[in-house]
A and B are shown apart, each in its own frame.
Chain A
Amino acid sequence: MKLLRSGRRTSKVPLSGITPVDLADEASAGLFARPGRMVLTVSGTVIGIAALVATLGLARTTGNRILGRFDELAATEIIITTKAAGDGSTQEWLPWDAPARMERLNGVVAAGDLTYVDTNGALISTSPISDPSHQTEFDLPVQAASPDLFRAVRAKLSTGRFFDRGNSLRADRVAVLGSGAALRLGITTVNQMPALRIGDDLFLIVGILDSVGRFPDLMGAIIIPEGTARADYQIASPETVVVETQIGAASLVAKQAPLALRPDNIAALKVASPPEPKRVRDAVANDLNALFLLLGGVSLVVGAIGIANVTLVSVIERTSEIGLRRAIGATRFHIALQFLLESTAMGLLGGIIGASLGSVVVVGVSALRGWTPVLDPLTPLLAPVGGAVIGLLSGTYPAWRATRMEPVAALRTQG
């Protein structure tokens, strides 16, 4: 008998078991049996995770935002001048073909030069007759510009045209008026080919400016071609080179500019380029952040207790189901596994929804405030894992309670 028994003992008794697919199926069926309750249970974790993700994301976002508003105009502007010559050295000059040299550089959109013209005190007038009852002569600044300057300063015309390369090469006596200068001189249109006199020299007015993006002083000035200024007023060298670059190219172009313009003496030039955008890199030591993190933590604890509570209620409610499962072959381990899986899935779901909501909050607040949303990629990835861990931990006690149930007693309950 003993022999027979041990023989039977070692002959295989098929063990019960559950395939992962079936386990997942049973757990999800358990979860979705009461979808409304599941949603309520998960909401605590959702709020907690969302608060944490949003707080971390906003802290990151505010920490990375660019101080002040991004100024596209300033960020694409380079102004090159000769160093103020204190010693009267003749070394400090800019070449006349500076705009052409600059335009050959990659990243330059437009370049022009601008020079103040000393008219030796000549006054500007549009009328050859001195009218004692009105002021007919004005003291207005005269600037000489290369034709491309208008593009470089983003000038717009209200009427007429800009002077061109031909005007400059031929030293034509033409002028473009700033709108302020035109107002003072009483010029509103160029249809009748009005002229003005600088001292005794007559200039044809070809255009009137409406606006400029840079160098607002130009609005009050008479602008004449640089070729004309060289011929008539003997200016020796351009004073200023204005360059418009593509966005992001400014610092590179600024570095290359002295070499392009004065390869013989790069120290002779002063290049003004936009400053690097400044970022606030303050730590997360902010009181408000700490408060929100605390709030998120508290919601998570509340969420965890919620999951634990509901899972426990569910274990008690499903006593008869547990008994049945034990009868048809579930071991205590299988029962625990199913309840742990259900609570972990709830935590995971809460984590995923919470991470999504938190990210939406970060993006939404950033959009409202005009910030660039910044989120550590690990945050939304780790949040669901955190949710799952919370679910797992909260499910531990209910699952243990479920394994303690005796199938016999559990089966006697009405089910």
Chain B
Amino acid sequence: MPDASHAVVALEGVGRVYPTDPPVNALVDVDLSIAAGDWMAVEGPSGSGKSTLLNVVGCLDSPTSGTYWFEGIDVSDLTDRERTGLRSRRIGFVFQSFHLLRYRTVLENVMMAEVYRRHSRGGRKERALAALDRVGLTPRSDFLPMHLSGGEQQRVAIARALLGSPGLLLADEPTGNLDSATSARILDLFDGLHGEGLTIVMITHDPEVARRAHRRIHLRDGRLEEVR
């Protein structure tokens, strides 16, 4: 049984069935424990259940069976609103297609991370600038995203995810839209963040990318296997 009180993420017998006809077993009996400071890659071909795992771990979706603890909190027991609050404050998301708002500057995009935390605006700009500094984009803070390269845009998205020091950085194919050189720099950045103690879970279909992580798990037909 995973140690629910110390792991950042602990899944116990988690299953997710989509009620289609016939039902799809996207996740079957998944046990997984991610400790604080882990730098883990989740691999698997498309249709293997990667996205479902991401949604469950990211508190975007609830498992249909089993139990999920996030930082010791039983998430399956939470209401939708509570899950949203947890997600807002404790999980930083990074997506394949960056999801930056086109009409807002880099700085405003990063500041948006705090909008749903009911924070006062005092110090928000400074916090966002500090996050931009961590990804090395301070000189670009007044640019619009469209004037940045793909790698820079992804670093803005990472800065947004870092705002408010989340317990988990959840990256969904973060290098999927980038060339290999740029991908390498993003992964270097992840290495650096891992070195600062951040817990990172990255979902990818690319073994080359997954190799950079310190721990790799493989999903196949909704079942989990650890890659040693």
> Are A and B a genuine interacting pair, yes or no?
yes
Q: Is the CB of A16 within 8 A of B74?
A: no
Shortest Cβ distance from A327 into B: residue: B93
Give B178 Cβ to nearest chain A Cβ, in Å.
14
Which stretch in A7-15, A38-46, A116-124, A241-249 binds the other chain? A7-15
Chain B residues with CB below 8 A from A18, complex form: 115-116, 118
Question: A331: CB under 8 A from chain B?
Answer: yes
Task: Tell me the chain B residues, 190-225 only, with Cβ under 8 Å from chain A.
Answer: none
Q: Is the CB of A331 within 8 A of B80?
A: yes
Give A339 Cβ to nearest chain B Cβ, in Å.
15
Q: Is the CB of B118 within 8 A of A9?
A: no
Task: Tell me the chain B residues, 76-92 only, with Cβ under 8 Å from chain A.
Answer: 77-78, 80-82, 84-89
Give B86 Cβ to nearest chain A Cβ, in Å.
6
Chain B residues with CB below 8 A from A13, complex form: 73, 78, 82, 85-86
Give A16 Cβ to nearest chain B Cβ, in Å.
4
Which stretch in B32-40, B94-102, B132-140, B181-189 binds the other chain? B94-102
Do A323 and B99 form a contact, CB below 8 Å, given A5-B77, A408-B60?
yes
Q: Is the CB of B81 within 8 A of A21?
A: no
- What sequence of 0s and 1s flags, for each residue 382-415 of chain A, a beta carbon within 8 Å of any chain B beta carbon? 0000000000000000000000000110011111
Q: Is the CB of A334 within 8 A of B116?
A: yes
Chain B residues with CB below 8 A from A327, complex form: 58, 60, 87, 93
Give A59 Cβ to nearest chain B Cβ, in Å.
44
- What sequence of 0s and 1s flags, for each residue 57-70 of chain B, a beta carbon within 8 Å of any chain A beta carbon? 01011000000000
- What sequence of 0s and 1s flags, for each residue 99-118 of chain B, a beta carbon within 8 Å of any chain A beta carbon? 11111100010001101111
Query: Counting chain A CB atoms within 10 Å of each CB, which of B58, B104, B118 scores highest?
Result: B118
Chain A residues with CB below 8 A from B4, complex form: 4
Q: State in angstroms the CA–CA spacing of A346 and B100 once bound together.
A: 24
- What sequence of 0s and 1s flags, for each residue 20-58 of chain A, a beta carbon within 8 Å of any chain B beta carbon? 011001100100111000000000000000000000000
Q: Is the CB of A408 within 8 A of B61?
A: yes
Please pick, from B61, B115, B119, the residue contacting A26 in the complex, using a CB distance under 8 A. B115
Question: A316: CB under 8 A from chain B?
Answer: no
Question: A172: CB under 8 A from chain B?
Answer: no
Task: Tell me the chain B residues, 142-178 only, with Cβ under 8 Å from chain A.
Answer: 160, 172
Give B93 Cβ to nearest chain A Cβ, in Å.
5
Give B89 Cβ to nearest chain A Cβ, in Å.
5
Give A210 Cβ to nearest chain B Cβ, in Å.
74
Give A157 Cβ to nearest chain B Cβ, in Å.
77
Shortest Cβ distance from A411 into B: residue: B95
Q: Is the CB of A325 within 8 A of B116?
A: yes
Please pick, from B84, B102, B117, the residue contacting A331 in the complex, using a CB distance under 8 A. B84
Please pick, from B55, B72, B73, B116, the residue contacting A408 in the complex, using a CB distance under 8 A. B55
Question: A103: CB under 8 A from chain B?
Answer: no
Residues of B within 8 A of A (CB): 4, 51, 55, 58, 60-61, 72-74, 77-78, 80-82, 84-89, 93, 95, 97-104, 108, 112-113, 115-121, 160, 172
Can you spell out 12 A-B residue pairs with CB atoms less than 8 angstroms apart? A5-B74, A8-B74, A16-B118, A18-B115, A19-B119, A26-B115, A29-B101, A324-B93, A327-B60, A328-B112, A328-B116, A330-B84
